[in-house]
Structure 1
Amino acid sequence: MTKSKTVAAWLAFLGGPFGLHRFYLHGAGDWLGWLLPVPTLVGAYGVLRMWSLGQNDPLSWVLTPVLGFTFAGCCLTAIVYGLKKPEDWNGRFNPGQSPDAKPGRTNWGTVWAIVLALMIGAGVLMASIAISFQGYFNQQVEEGRRISQ
């Protein structure tokens, strides 16, 4: 079965946190594909805690960025897949085909996957870093107030 670079990039962008791109490229036995939902669900639990308990919950500001970092990593994977040269892609994932076979070529679908992964992935990464630092500094300020009293 041939593996399309465009499909892999979109799967990494849209379903990467659940390992869909790994299953597409390496099959259902891929252990990393089965591990990817773990940080996704841990981060989603942090988001739910933050919504219900607020931003002052220390566990939520530790767990919430895990979701963002996982998604940003999958966006980076989509970018790497999309930017691979056709001969490298086909050599690795379609070894029986010519180096310039169609599944490894870049088309407009690939370009849009790269652009969206870059835009949204960078935004999610920055938001994740901001949430984790905000929670950390808020906790430090509260600790400083407790010590000064």
Structure 2
Amino acid sequence: MKNKTIAAWLAFLGGPLGLHRFYLYGAGDMLGWLLPVPTALGLYGIERLQQWGQDDQLSWLLIPLLGFTMAGCALCAIIYGLMPPEKWNARFNRSAAPDAPPGRTNWFTVFAVTTSLLVGAGVLLASIAYSLQHYFEYQVREGRKISQEN
């Protein structure tokens, strides 16, 4: 039986590695195997930023992948946590009664949803701000190059 609270915490804590997908759908889930790719690319972007500095264009393209993956997994945790028990059990525990305990919401589920909302929103906004800041700084540098040529 798949527990809603465990799935929400796995989506929040191990979502970028696909742990919630493996828990819910098994080891054959393709999306679960694909989730670590943007996570690894984002971590590689952080490594490039530390090595080459803030002017590395590839790093400011790669780092938001990690943030958007984390935010998407936090959203999955919120969706799992807020799913009604009847819908949860019908989807993930088909042989159980509609009001079976694994689909019920408890305080640990509420903490998972709240934490996912706080951290996910912060990570999403930080990723958007980081991307736009570096994009506009790049545009200004290119504009200065063009104006110096004239």
Q: What is the TM-score when the length of structure 2 is the normalising length?
A: 0.97
In structure 2, what is the equivalent of residue 129 of structure 1?
128
Residues 108-138 of structure 1, C-alpha deviations (whole Å, 9 max, x = no match) = 0000000000000000000000110111011
In structure 1, what is the equivalent of residue 144 of structure 2?
145
* Distance (whole Å) between structure 2 residues aligned to residue 55 and residue 129 of structure 1: 16
Residues 50-79 of structure 1, C-alpha deviations (whole Å, 9 max, x = no match) = 122122111111110000000000000000
* Cα shift at 1:85: 0.2
Contact 1:17/1:74 (<8 A) preserved: yes
Any idea what SS the aligned residue of 1:100 has? coil
Return structure 1 stretches of 4+ with deviation > 2 angstroms.
none
Residues 12-44 of structure 1, C-alpha deviations (whole Å, 9 max, x = no match) = 000000000000000011111000000100111
* Distance (whole Å) between structure 2 residues aligned to residue 25 and residue 31 of structure 1: 12
Unaligned stretches of 5+ residues in structure 2: none
* Distance (whole Å) between structure 1 residues aligned to residue 114 and residue 135 of structure 2: 32
In structure 2, what is the equivalent of residue 15 of structure 1?
14
- Paired letter, 2:38: P
Count, aligned residues: 148
- Paired letter, 1:106: T
In structure 1, what is the equivalent of residue 58 of structure 2?
59
* Distance (whole Å) between structure 1 residues aligned to residue 119 and residue 49 of structure 2: 21
What is the root-mean-square deviation in Å for CA atoms of aligned residues?
Answer: 0.6
In structure 2, what is the equivalent of residue 91 of structure 1?
90
Unaligned stretches of 5+ residues in structure 1: none
The percentage of aligned residue pairs carrying the same residue is 67
Contact 1:56/1:138 (<8 A) preserved: no
In structure 2, what is the equivalent of residue 103 of structure 1?
102
Q: What is the TM-score when the length of structure 1 is the normalising length?
A: 0.98
* Distance (whole Å) between structure 2 residues aligned to residue 138 and residue 103 of structure 1: 50
In structure 2, what is the equivalent of residue 80 of structure 1?
79
* Distance (whole Å) between structure 1 residues aligned to residue 138 and residue 91 of structure 2: 48
Any idea what SS the aligned residue of 1:52 has? helix
* Distance (whole Å) between structure 2 residues aligned to residue 53 and residue 131 of structure 1: 17
